[in-house]
Amino acid sequence: MAETKEKSLSDEKPKPRVRPIVRLGIFLISHSFHVSVVCCTAGVLALFLLPVLAKNTYISENALMPGSASPMLSNQHVSDGNRLVKDLTNPNSKSSETGIESHKIIAQYMLDLGAEVSFHKFHPQMNQFHPLHFFSSPDSGKIQENYSCSSYGINTVGIIRAPHGDGKEAIVLVTPYNALKSGFGEALSLGIAYSVFSLLTQVTWLAKDIIWLVADSQYGEYAAVAAWLREYQTPKFSSLSTPNAEMCPDVNNLFELKGHSISGSKFSNSFRRAGTMASALVLKVRDQNEQFEDTISIYAEASNGQMPNLDLINVVNYLAVHRQGLRVNVEKLWSLLNSSWLKSLGEIFESLAKVAKSLYPKWKFGIPATEYVEGTATLASSLYYQALGVPTGPHGAFRDYQVDAITLEISPKFSLDKVWRNDILLRGGRLIEGVIRSVNNLLEKFHQSFFLYLLTSPSKFVSVGVYMIAFAFLIAPLPMVAASLYVDANSSSNCSKGDSSTPSAITDTDEHSIAIRSWRWLNSAKLVFIVHLWGAIVSLLPYFISQIPDCSPTTSFMIWVLLSILSLLTLNSVLASPLACAKATQEKEWALVKSVTISSVFIGLGLMSVINFATAEIGALLMVPMCLLAQPLKLDVRAGTLRSFCRMICNLVLGHIAFPPAALFLLKGMLDGFGNANVGDFWMWVESLWAWNSATYLFIVEVTYIFSHG
Amino acid sequence: MEKVKKKIGSFSFWNWVTASIIFRLILIYFPKNLNLSSRPEVSTPLTSFRRLAEGYWLKQSFMSPYAGSMYHGSPLLLSLLGPLTINRIEGQPNHLLYSLVSVIADVVSAMLIRATGQNLRLAYLRSLESLDLVKQIEVSGDIAALIYLCNPFTIVACVGLSTSPIENMAVILCLYGACSRLIPLAAFGWVIATHLSLYPAILIIPVIFLLGCGPDSPPRKLFLQRHQQKEVLNQSKLPPRFSWGPVIHFAFWAFLWSVYVLVLCGISLKQFGGLWEMFKSTYGFILTVEDLSPNIGVLWYFFAEVFEFFRNFFLIVFHVNILFMILPLAIRLRHRPCYLAFVYVAICSMLKSYPSVGDSALYLGLLGWFVNELADMQFSLFLFCGYVGVSLLSPVMHNLWIWRGTGNANFYFATAMVYACLQIVLVVEGVSAMLNHDRKLRNLITGKPQDAKS
């Protein structure tokens, strides 16, 4: 709407009496250069201010009541867990090649506790990216035809039915476990889960079913969890379409053994389900650790920059810090921690805060410089992982089904002492127990707290309302500059018309020029559309290339480059023929093209900020200066002044900086895209492509202008 | 020279038509992946394909098609299109036949738009001639037809298996009949359009103007002024006065057709409650806004929030909103009935209870008729960007709300509000551009300088 006003007033001649808001609009448009510089600087500055503006987290859902009950996990349960760890690490259990033995042991342990147990067999699914998947619902997993018996994984699933529950809800506990080459850490995580599980079979307060999923991580943790979830959420009704893993003798063997040894028990061959999932915890124990404290790392980023509800992180953080005395960590960009410029920036902010405080004692917004540096490092990694869109752990699979999940990685100070082992089992177990008990109290889904936030430390966050300000500052110049360019282009044509036409000669040519005037942008819109179309084609090409069998990444990359150039040429010849007519007026036209381009970039960035804020922010940081500086090179060369020369250099540099990342990104995408990228990964690629396309097309627009003027 | 240009123009016109048909056919082969027929933007309770299939199934099993508040369309549609919902060809997409019908409906609409546009252009040229203004004008019919065919909204509505292509075709048929003075056809189009979706009923006003005074022309006053200047009153060059003959003729035919349609509906619903049942669950459903599932309109959100005892009051307020605008617009734009029809269609698609993108496709197509008159329209770039932005943002917000769970209904409703605002801006700017155009013509005739406008 602001744009409307701006445009409206500048289309009309300035009258003696204008309303203040109109005058403001005129002012903004006429000074768009200064305003955009100020806005961009403010945007970048606000981004750096975010760690200062971060608020302390608080538990927003009252029903959670973390830590209000004293933990019930006793040494008895810990010794149970210890027993499982011993059995699993026992070399005898690893005799079998497929690691079935250890799964049997786990299943046996679960059965002994009185849980319902089932095995879930899955085939590691190469997650293929489908170009049209964006429109369909997330659960439309494709069933592949060619399964082989050689590669399959087995998830062991144990379910405790809640004594007070109605079986409509469940909490999931996931422990990734690779039976073939399991480290001690994995066995320990199983031990912790088992001790909690054994406690939960006895407690009376349980209102939600507990599902313990031992995910077979030999094909990757994410794939196993995703396969189980797909099966859980999309039941298959026809027996024909089920993957025929049952045909494989090995698996049947497993079932027979089980059925034989424990007949009439709660073991079942079919897939077992509990209720809808309230939340999920993924538990891991790291094998080696350099730290001197028991720390626990929280990984929360799911696919596409989605985050679990902040309350879940709050509960874990609260229980770990205040009840179990563990140190809580979230991912940081370690390289930033030692950067001196960041430290000096932090000191500047600190001293500024001191000055402010001395002026007015109630202003307390400063944080110490070291804290600022840490906060920035955390924020940067938070932004980075959200922008990347690749989930940081198996919890990412849950978020696709709207289940809040996080991964907890316990990294104990390492020693082989038995006391130490019991201690970590007890504390880890109590932490898990506390979280489960809190979630168990929930009456509805997690909905109270934030979904859109950035963490600056485990107990500090920046909410959407704050970080959007930085982004808004950053992209505010775009519509303004677009409007001013548009107005300039229109008014210049008006002027020329006014010169040429004498009052008596109101002829048809005059009419015609009027007719063109307000729709003249259509030509430039067509150009921009063609470039966008090309970008879309280029971004869809990898899918088709990946269908070609036996292709090394380099050759497929070459094919990709060739095909994209080819498609550009065809598009140009098929669609762009009208452009040739417009060539004569192109000198003036570029302003319109730039205006249309900038508005489309604005739309794109706005859209992206809704989908994935971090990508939009990083994209905006790169693209906004480029959009604002873009200028046909020929004009600059012709002008020959120092200023235009500088601008030309800036253009070239920015154009190259922004373009190679696309190429680099995609090269990387191709390299691991053919290996084991997941849907989230590819989604990200498409999305980053959508963002990058606009960068590329700007570049290309520039290039076309170089050509057309040269 | 001009002939050659025209030839090239028509050649590329047919190229574009073929390209758009091929594009549709390609999209029809990916129905599963696109999943368009379940998008709220495309299929409303009135136009949804699934509901049509359900109604047909109910009817086949000797139940009232309106049972269970699933189907709310016409019973005629059920007998005509119903069989296509279950007919399948082996190895082809499921609803190929039905999709082909929509594609054909789209193409027929485009051709009718083109013919009407040519009519309008001729009339415009004639009136300019009689005003002694020579002007080179665009071939508005081709442009309008291409806008209609290549509009993403039309394509989405067509591929998304909604019934709006057929409703749009009825509206266009009505306007075409009125423009080319085929009175029975106009009456048929009007009756069918009204029968299918109720709102086109208000198109009777432009149709009466069309039949009474002929297609769009500058205001009658201008001609009189012109001839006063010349001091020769050439009656033959004046536009005809309002004549009641065709209007009465139209009324007769409209009556005949509506009786015919009602009898047909009555026959097909004989054992299921008869016509009353039909009126209750089609027009009643439209007017009482029973279904509050989200769509791109603004009414669902409002009626989900409003207190029950105010509901009737607000229902009246919202529907009278449309009726309020009829009279002033009819008075102001009476010399341009086709443009009046466009404005009515746009207002309806903004304020109707279950809007879909198919409605926008219709009025955007009709907008193409007036490229010459609206050349001076302001905010064209802004409106274009707005439409692009909203049509991209709306699915994203829906995804955020329904699938990801991070957003809520307000997110989606915000885009619906922006969309409504855009439509308002479009209508306001369009009408003011048209009035400016008339003013400019007047200035050209009276020889006043251009700046005297406003």
What average pLDDT does chain A have?
Answer: 73
Q: What residues of B are in the A interface, CB distance below 8 Å? A: 30, 32-36, 39, 134-136, 138, 372, 375-382, 384-385, 388-389, 392-393, 395-397, 400, 403-406, 421, 425, 444, 449-450
Which string of DSSP letters, residue by residue, matches B126-147? HHHHHTT-------HHHHHHHH
Q: How far is CA A653 from CA A38, A630, A704, in A?
A: 22, 11, 17
Cβ separation A518–B378 shorter than 8 A? yes
Distance from CA of B382 to the nearest CA of A (A): 7
Residue B282 is classified by DSSP as T
* Calpha distance A176→A166 (Å, rounded): 28
Cβ separation B136–A508 shorter than 8 A? yes
Q: Is residue A403 part of a domain?
A: yes
Highest mean pLDDT among A151-155, A495-499, B310-314: B310-314
Cβ separation B385–A600 shorter than 8 A? yes
> Cα torsion for B228, B230, B233, B235, to the nearest 10°?
-110
Cβ separation A137–B35 shorter than 8 A? yes
Distance from CA of B401 to the nearest CA of A (A): 11
Q: Which residue has the higher pLDDT, B183 or A625?
A: B183
Is pLDDT of A106 > 50? yes
Of the candidates A515, A599, A610, the beta carbon closest to that of B385 is on A599
Q: Give the lowest-confidence range in A89-98, A448-457, B69-78.
A: A89-98
Predicted pLDDT at B49: 87
Number of structural domains in chain A: 1
Q: How confident is the model at residue B426 (pLDDT cuts 50, 70, 90)?
A: very high
Give B-chain residues touching A606 at CB under 8 angstroms.
389, 393
Q: What does the pLDDT look like over B320-355, one tens digit per residue?
A: 888 888 999 999 888 889 999 999 999 999 888 999
Cβ separation A595–B381 shorter than 8 A? yes
Q: Which of B381, B388, B400, B429 to mutate to test the interface with A (most CBs of A within 10 A)?
A: B381
Give A-chain residues touching B32 at CB under 8 angstroms.
136
ipTM for this prediction:
0.83
Sign of CA dihedral A657, A662, A668, A670: negative
Predicted pLDDT at A155: 87
Distance from CA of B248 to the nearest CA of A (A): 39
Q: Which residue has the higher pLDDT, A57 or A258?
A: A57
**Domain residues of chain B, as ranges?**
1-221+243-287
Range of the domain at A228: 62-125+151-233+266-465
Cβ separation B378–A138 shorter than 8 A? no
The A residues from 306 to 365 touching B (CB cutoff 8 Å) are 306
Q: Which whole number is the average pLDDT over A481-488? A: 84
Contact (Cβ atoms closer than 8 angstroms) between residue A372 and residue A352: no
Q: Which residue in A has a C-alpha nearest to residue B450's C-alpha?
A: A503
Distance from CA of B78 to the nearest CA of A (A): 28
> Cα torsion for A332, A336, A337, A340, to the nearest 10°?
-170
Distance from CA of B184 to the nearest CA of A (A): 37
Q: What does the pLDDT look like over B231-267, one tens digit per residue?
A: 655 555 666 677 888 899 999 999 999 999 999 999 8
Hey, is the C-beta of A521 within 8 angstroms of any chain B C-beta? yes
Cβ separation A4–B425 shorter than 8 A? yes
Of the candidates A503, A596, A611, the beta carbon closest to that of B449 is on A503
Q: Which of B108, B452, B58 is nearest to B268 (CA)?
A: B58
Of the candidates A3, A137, A306, the beta carbon closest to that of B382 is on A3
Cβ separation A506–B395 shorter than 8 A? no
pTM: 0.84
Three-state DSSP at A296 gives: strand
Q: What does the pLDDT look like over A34-52, one tens digit per residue?
A: 888 898 899 999 998 888 8
Give A-chain residues touching B372 at CB under 8 angstroms.
515
Q: What does the pLDDT look like over A219-230, one tens digit per residue?
A: 788 888 888 888
Of the candidates A445, A518, A606, the beta carbon closest to that of B376 is on A518
Q: Which of B396, B428, B440 is nearest to B414 (CA)?
A: B396
Of the candidates A7, A137, A514, the beta carbon closest to that of B379 is on A7
How many pairs of residues across A and B have Cβ atoms under 8 Å apart? Answer: 94
* Calpha distance B321→B335 (Å, rounded): 23
Three-state DSSP at A378 gives: helix
Hey, is the C-beta of A8 within 8 angstroms of any chain B C-beta? yes
Give A-chain residues touching B385 at CB under 8 angstroms.
599-600, 602-603
CATH of the domain at A204: 3.40.630.10
Give A-chain residues touching B404 at CB under 8 angstroms.
306, 402
Percent of chain A topping pLDDT 90: 9
Which string of DSSP letters, residue by residue, matches B287-346? HHT------SSSHHHHHHHS-GGGHHHHHHHHHHHHHHHHHHHHHHTTT-HHHHHHHHHH
Of the candidates B35, B136, B375, the beta carbon closest to that of A136 is on B35
Hey, is the C-beta of A132 within 8 angstroms of any chain B C-beta? yes
Which token pair is A644? 């235009």
* Calpha distance A110→A113 (Å, rounded): 5
Cβ separation B34–A136 shorter than 8 A? yes
* Calpha distance A198→A78 (Å, rounded): 9
Alpha helix (H) residue ranges in B46-137: 49-60, 75-86, 96-130
Is pLDDT of B57 > 80? yes
Give A-chain residues touching B396 at CB under 8 angstroms.
607, 610-611
Is pLDDT of A156 > 60? yes
Cβ separation A514–B375 shorter than 8 A? yes
Q: Which of A691, A690, A694, A686 is nearest to A669 (CA)?
A: A686
Distance from CA of B55 to the nearest CA of A (A): 25
Q: What does the pLDDT look like over B264-312, one tens digit per residue?
A: 999 888 888 788 888 888 999 999 888 888 989 889 999 988 888 899 9
Cβ separation A519–B375 shorter than 8 A? yes
Give A-chain residues touching B388 at CB under 8 angstroms.
600, 603
Q: What does the pLDDT look like over B188-197, one tens digit per residue?
A: 999 999 999 8
Distance from CA of A134 to the nearest CA of B (A): 9
Contact (Cβ atoms closer than 8 angstroms) between residue A315 and residue A279: no
Predicted pLDDT at A649: 62
Q: Is residue A489 part of a domain?
A: no
Give A-chain residues touching B35 at CB under 8 angstroms.
135-137
Residue A70 is classified by DSSP as P
Q: Which whole number is the average pLDDT over A303-309? A: 82
Distance from CA of B168 to the nearest CA of A (A): 26
Is pLDDT of A458 > 70? yes
